[in-house]
Structure 1
Amino acid sequence: MSSDNSDEKFVMDPDHGEIPDLRNSKGHGFYCFKHDGVYLYIVHPSVLKGVRPADHLRSIKEAELKDDDIFICAYPKCGTHWLWEVIEMLKSGTIKYQKDVKETRMLELISKDGIEAVPQPRVFNTHLHLRMLPKQVVEKKIKCFQIMRNPKDACVSFFNHCRDMTPPYDYEGDFVEFTEAFLSEKMAFGSYSTYLLSWKAEVAAAPELPVLDLFYEDMKFDPVKTVKDVARFLGLSSTDQFCEEVADACSFKKMKKVDQEMKGDAPIKIWADGKEGTFYRKGEIGDWKNWFTVAESERFDQIWNAKMKDSGFKFTYTPV
């Protein structure tokens, strides 16, 4: 996290409550506050508009939803952008890219009023835990997607994302330091393992909630099948040919080009000046091998496996 910045002064405002010190021994870490047991970024003042961060999040729980709303839920860097575009095409029945970025439909960035102002049909996305979402998600049995990715590739992708963000949300430590934060709770959105375990427990407590679990790796291996699975879950009568067209239009290469050439602005400035920040970096399965040493990989496995023992989650770490 960089210093001497007006936004940094905002996130350190004592009116936000106690700001935990998440820095490591080298002074690198994240500016967050803790809400409902999870560390979260303090949203930019242009979004909060004078509202306290905790009140901003609490307002989300009271948002009025429509029966045909759709929610994409995921830990950061697990494929939310890809899935959002796929669902929008399937819902519209046209091969047409969204000019808006998915952050314009991200619960954390638009709050209660923003949620209710989005015109139908509506596909929202979030990195929040199920318990933090609008209460009507469970009450109205809103269709939800949970998209997951192997933790090593997610860690690498999240590191590169945070490294290029605008201050004070950027991360100045190296990859090893970031991995330590990723395996602990001391970072924005908490640890991936805690997110997954919480999601599983909270969904189990709401057995009538319709949820489709997807894996990033399956989307890469067989995108057409994934598109068909999504259409079927949504009750859409999409033809095989149209599903193939959607899968092709939403290939990583094409999505990266669309992001660079036609996407509009996010509700807040995400990327730092002089950085080549992008939501689409490589999109590969197994890129983690270019980042972890053998010893680091083994240590990651040891910690991850201990946390996730008997959880039932199984991930693919290398291409087939």
Structure 2
Amino acid sequence: MTKYDRIVDGIRYPLAIKDEILEAVKTFEVREDDVWLITYRKSDLLKPGMTEFAHVTAAKKSSPRIMETHMQSRHMPREILTKKPKIVYVARNPKDIAVSFYYFHKSNKLIKTFDSWDEYFQAFYDGDLVGGSWFDMNLYWWNRRNEDNVLFLKYEDMRENLGSAIVKISQFLGWPVPEGKLEEVVKHCSFGSMKNNPKINYTESKMIDISISPFMRKGLVGDWKNYFTVSQNEAFDKLYEEKMKGSGLTFRFE
């Protein structure tokens, strides 16, 4: 345990996430008409999230509820697997996530600030960050991608063609985009639009110091090249090959 976080079942959590909260989440009552947006941190594009799953507030929502979480599967509500709500999982390549999450650590007042990129990189490599291993989370949902209630999307594809992703999501959820409105929805959901939206970009949050780094920074594909050293990239590529071997899950890194 540090002054910022602690490890529970192999996953590092901010100290604000108490044991009773984790236990309450496991027994949370899931509804069949829920829609769950699940991502590893800094993977979102449609609606970026920052906080852990807020079970007390969520329980009071009227249906259909849209739920957002970055939690690993072992700490998700158990009824996720039995009630089978609609799940939209968004995956992003780990190298760009590493950079984005590094800046999130620098600006977030509730989690550890690393002294250097090199120190942070090692923690990301080891999966020893708040939220746990990128590999564990993405492989878990990739292996469930063929289930009828799961839609697995990639951030890079959404960045390239957001309209196509929105159509896929609307068809999956059975919520058709009104005729002639797709362009408007795409514009509203674009990274640039969200970055300038104070309801989403956390400019008013007391937890984020935007003078250090904005919550929504660049959202680019390939920005990792400006941070990974040659040796770090080689080491991570080797780890990536080992972890992903045989999975069939691939990403674009630029």
Scaled by the length of structure 1, the TM-score of the pair is 0.72
Letter of the 1:219 partner, please give it: M
Counterpart contact for 2:72–2:132, Cα < 8 Å: no
Deviation at 1:200, TM superposition (A): 4.1
Tell me, in whole angstroms, the C-alpha distance in 2 between the residues paired with 1:196 and 1:114: 27
Counterpart contact for 1:72–1:145, Cα < 8 Å: yes
Q: Which residue of 1 aligns with 2:186?
A: 247
Residue 296 in 1 paired to residue 232 in 2? Answer: yes
CA gap 1:226/1:261 in 2 versus in 1, 3 angstroms: closer
Tell me, in whole angstroms, the C-alpha distance in 2 between the residues paired with 1:253 and 1:34: 35
Counterpart contact for 2:98–2:124, Cα < 8 Å: yes
CA gap 1:200/1:213 in 2 versus in 1, 3 angstroms: closer
Letter of the 1:186 partner, please give it: D
Q: Which residue of 1 aligns with 2:208?
A: 271
1:23-62 correspondence to structure 2 within 5 Å: 31-43=4-16, 53-62=18-27
CA gap 1:260/1:245 in 2 versus in 1, 3 angstroms: same
The DSSP-based 3-state class of the residue aligned with 1:258 is: coil
CA gap 1:303/1:215 in 2 versus in 1, 3 angstroms: same
CA gap 1:289/1:240 in 2 versus in 1, 3 angstroms: farther
The DSSP-based 3-state class of the residue aligned with 1:135 is: coil
2:54 alignment partner, one of 107, 110, 113 = 110
Q: Which residue of 1 aligns with 2:159?
A: 220
Deviation at 1:246, TM superposition (A): 0.8
Q: Which residue of 1 aligns with 2:76?
A: 133
2:93 alignment partner, one of 125, 131, 150 = 150
The number of equivalent residue pairs is: 254
CA gap 1:70/1:31 in 2 versus in 1, 3 angstroms: same
Greater Cα radius of gyration, structure 1 or 2? 1
Structure 2 residues not aligned, in runs of 5+: none
Tell me, in whole angstroms, the C-alpha distance in 2 between the residues paired with 1:218 and 1:298: 25
Tell me, in whole angstroms, the C-alpha distance in 2 between the residues paired with 1:233 and 1:291: 37
Counterpart contact for 1:74–1:126, Cα < 8 Å: yes
Counterpart contact for 1:61–1:134, Cα < 8 Å: yes
1:154-303 correspondence to structure 2 within 5 Å: 154-167=97-110, 169-200=111-142, 203=144, 210-239=149-178, 241-259=180-198, 269-272=206-209, 275-303=211-239
CA gap 1:179/1:262 in 2 versus in 1, 3 angstroms: closer
Tell me, in whole angstroms, the C-alpha distance in 1 between the residues paired with 2:71 and 2:134: 12
RMSD: 2.5
Residue 83 in 1 paired to residue 46 in 2? Answer: yes
Tell me, in whole angstroms, the C-alpha distance in 2 between the residues paired with 1:194 and 1:286: 22
Per-residue CA distance 1:125-150 (angstroms, 9 max, x = gap): 11112332222222221000110111
The DSSP-based 3-state class of the residue aligned with 1:296 is: helix
Structure whose residues are more often helix by fraction: 1
Counterpart contact for 2:88–2:152, Cα < 8 Å: yes
Tell me, in whole angstroms, the C-alpha distance in 2 between the residues paired with 1:271 and 1:285: 23
Counterpart contact for 1:61–1:135, Cα < 8 Å: yes
CA gap 1:235/1:109 in 2 versus in 1, 3 angstroms: closer
The DSSP-based 3-state class of the residue aligned with 1:279 is: coil
CA gap 1:256/1:194 in 2 versus in 1, 3 angstroms: same
